[in-house]
Amino acid sequence: MRSIWKGSVSFGLVNVPVKLYGATEEHDLTAHMIHAGCGGRVRLPKTCGDCGAVVGAGEIAKGYEHNKETVIITEDDLRSLKAETRHVIEVLEFVPASDIDVMMFDKPYFLGPEAGAHKAYRLLTTTLANTDQVALVQFAMRGKTRLAALRVTGKQNVLVAQTLRWPDELRDPGLIEVDDVEVKEAELELAETLVKAMANEFNPDRYRDTYQEELRELIEAVANGERPAKAEAEDVSTEEVDDLLAKLQASIGGKK
Q: What is the DSSP letter of 51?
A: T
- The gap from C-alpha 252 to its chain's centroid, in whole angstroms, comes to 34
pLDDT of residue 36: 86
State the amino acid at position 98 in one-letter form: S
| Cβ–Cβ under 8 Å, residues 125 and 177 | no
pLDDT of residue 204: 84
pLDDT of residue 145: 87
Band the pLDDT of 84: cuts 50, 70, 90.
low
Domains of the chain by residue range: 5-26+81-167, 185-232+240-255
Predicted TM-score (pTM) of this structure: 0.75
Class of domain 5-26+81-167 (CATH, top level): mainly beta
CB atoms near residue 40 (< 10 Å): 9
Report residue 161: phi and psi, to 5°. Answer: -100, 105
Q: What is the DSSP letter of 115?
A: T
**Rounded Cα–Cα distance for residues 158 and 126 (Å):** 10
Residues near 212 by beta carbon (within 8 Å), at least 6 away in sequence: 27, 28, 29
What is the DSSP pairing of strand 62-66 with strand 134-141?
unpaired
Residue that wins the pLDDT comparison between 82 and 39:
39
**Rounded Cα–Cα distance for residues 100 and 87 (Å):** 25
Band the pLDDT of 103: cuts 50, 70, 90.
very high
Band the pLDDT of 93: cuts 50, 70, 90.
very high
pLDDT of residue 83: 66
Kindly tell me the number of DSSP H helices and DSSP E strands found in the chain: 6, 9
- Residue 99 in this model has a pLDDT that exceeds 60: yes
Q: What is the DSSP letter of 25?
A: -
Structure confidence by residue, pLDDT tens digits, 207-232: 898 888 888 888 888 888 888 887 77
Structure confidence by residue, pLDDT tens digits, 159-169: 999 999 999 99
Band the pLDDT of 119: cuts 50, 70, 90.
very high
Taking each helix axis from N to C terminus, what angle separates 244-255 and 185-198, rounded to the nearest 10 degrees? Answer: 20
Region 49-61 average pLDDT = 85
**Rounded Cα–Cα distance for residues 92 and 11 (Å):** 9
| Cβ–Cβ under 8 Å, residues 111 and 20 | yes
Following DSSP, what letter does each residue of 219-256 receive, concatenated? HHHHHTT--PPPPPPPP---SPPS-HHHHHHHHHHHH-
Band the pLDDT of 175: cuts 50, 70, 90.
confident
pLDDT of residue 242: 65
**Lowest mean pLDDT: which of 66-70, 84-88, 97-101, 145-149?**
84-88
Interior angle at CA 73, CA 67 and CA 74, nearest 5: 170
Band the pLDDT of 92: cuts 50, 70, 90.
very high
- The gap from C-alpha 174 to its chain's centroid, in whole angstroms, comes to 23
pLDDT, mean over the chain = 86
Region 40-62 average pLDDT = 85
What is the DSSP pairing of strand 69-73 with strand 134-141?
unpaired
